[in-house]
Amino acid sequence: MKREVRLVIDGDAGTRAARGLDTLSDLLARERAAAPASDPCREGACGDCVVLADGVLVAACITPVLQLDGARISTFAGLCRDDADEAPRLVAAARALARFADDRGLFPCDVCRSGVLLAAALDASGASGEGTSALSSRVCRCSDLAELPPEIERLRRELGEAP
Amino acid sequence: MSGPCEVLAPFEIEEAVQLLAEIGEPVTVLAGGTDLMPAILSGERRPAAVVLDLGRMAILREIREEGDELVLGAAVTAAALGADPEVARVAGPLVAAARSFGSLEIANRATIGGNVMTAGAAGDLATALLALDAVAVLASTEGRRRVPVFSLLVGGGRTSAKPSELLVEIRLPRAGASGRGWFRKVSGRGGRGWAKVNLACFARDGSEGPEEVRIALGGAASGPTRLRETERILTGSRLDEACLARALRGIDGEITPEDDLVSSAAYRRTIAARLVRWVLAELARPEGLR
């Protein structure tokens, strides 16, 4: 039995059909070739499929679409677009980190790129919450994530204190 | 993919318990989905024909004070617990457990009610709730009943809740603010994954040593348990070396760890003893995590 769900995905508002416990990953894969870039672990463990749902970081692979009715979904790719509809600090952090990663040749295989960089952008913009690091649970098998924390710190200073 | 199931998402608790009563067959309850969804997606679990989604009941996400209790809605997330100053004041071990969750995206969705009702061998929040003497409130069309979380978690992945009952609240004694508490876990993934063993402890100090001690262990049996005998040895004791040694010697006989996909019984036995040794040393110190 299909139901209509209202969603805004990276600025694209509309109703989508969802059935039972269809996940957000299923929906994104159906709609967008671009996101998520990787085949998720489908157990919420790897963090590669994360997106923002009304500003809250969620694992798309285990989040039922029906629970997201009315939500604004932002993928990392969406955050990097000119028309991104998220906090300016977060958008600035996302773009700066995407440039940094590409300049340094991080994430050569691309599997974890968007999940790691979205977590890093939350940390850099101060949106992860006091004493919480979204990046700390991330793993990349191809590159050294130790390059990211100094850049996150630099961005935190550049962007100033969180409002 | 996930099978033909109908997802119902009522706005009110009364509506939800009415649905449970009318459907009359087992219903799958969906809160944050962090345990349920992986189990369904891997084929380990099949959802019932009807799934009850708790996501629209705003009252289940509330944290409020009521008399001498702190009331946590069943769908309060680990992230919300970890950030709440009143929960930190009253229930330090619960906040430490909530902050030990694997990743921000899991903490943002995992709920306290889900952690209890999943009835895992070592749910982090569940273990903390045992040490804090928390009470669960179950709602049905018959009304509400209070059950200590200890009695709700009967082990073996089961709870004592009836199929017609919905966990709606967890209640904590606000007197917890006058005690000391600890939480620690051992897990894979740098200490942030599923706990193999976890321990939570609460103590209220008196002039002659602790007048109240509760030690809860997860992973030391088929569900989180209390170390009643150890607690008895410690209560009212000066916690000198002889007492601590006696308490430690008793641990082995008090636990019955099991093999599962997360860990082995032998490993859990070793780790449980070490966690208890750690917390005994903490107890004997004048200051602990609150």
Confidence of residue A136 (pLDDT cuts 50, 70, 90): confident
Question: What average pLDDT does range A73-92 have in this prediction?
Answer: 94
CA of A132: which chain B residue's CA is closest? B104
Query: What does the pLDDT look like over B225-243, one tens digit per residue?
Result: 999 999 999 999 989 999 9
How far is residue B104's CA from residue B99's CA, in Å, rounded to a whole number?
9
Rounded to a whole number of angstroms, the distance from the CA of A100 to the nearest CA of chain B is: 23
Q: If you average pLDDT over every residue of chain A, what do you get?
A: 90
Distance from CA of A27 to the nearest CA of B (A): 12
Residue B63 CB burial class (10 angstroms; 0-12, 13-18, ≥19): middle
Interface mutation vs chain A, best among B100, B105, B108, most A CBs within 10 Å: B105
Query: Across residues A115-122, what is the average pLDDT?
Result: 96
Task: Transcribe A39-104 into DSSP letters.
Answer: ---SSS-S-TTEEEETTEEEEGGG-BGGGGTTEEEE-HHHHTSTT--S-HHHHHHHHHHHHHHHHH
Mean predicted confidence (pLDDT) in A137-148: 88
> pLDDT at position A140, please?
86
Q: What is the pLDDT of residues B14-37, one digit of tens each?
A: 999 999 999 988 999 999 999 999
**pLDDT greater than 60 at residue B2:** no
pLDDT at position A160, please?
A: 84
Q: State how far the Cα of B96 lies from the Cα of B52, in Å rounded to an integer.
A: 30
Q: Please indicate if any CB of chain A lies within 8 Å of the CB of B40.
A: yes
B109/A50 touch (CB, cutoff 8 Å), yes or no? no
Q: What is the mean pLDDT of chain B?
A: 93
Distance CA B205, CA A101 (A): 53
**Strands (DSSP E) along chain B, which ranges?**
6-8, 28-30, 50-53, 63-66, 69-73, 135-140, 143-148, 153-155, 158-159, 166-173, 180-187, 195-206, 209-218, 225-226
pLDDT reading at B287 higher than 60: no
Query: pLDDT tens-digit profile of B186-238?
Result: 987 665 678 999 999 999 998 888 999 999 999 999 999 999 999 999 999 98
- Cβ distance B108 to A20 less than 8 Å, yes or no, reads no
Helices (H) and strands (E) in chain A, counts: 5, 5
- Average pLDDT for B64-85: 97
What is the reported pLDDT for B191?
58
Per-residue pLDDT tens over the stretch B129-179: 999 999 999 999 999 999 999 999 999 999 999 999 999 999 999 998 899
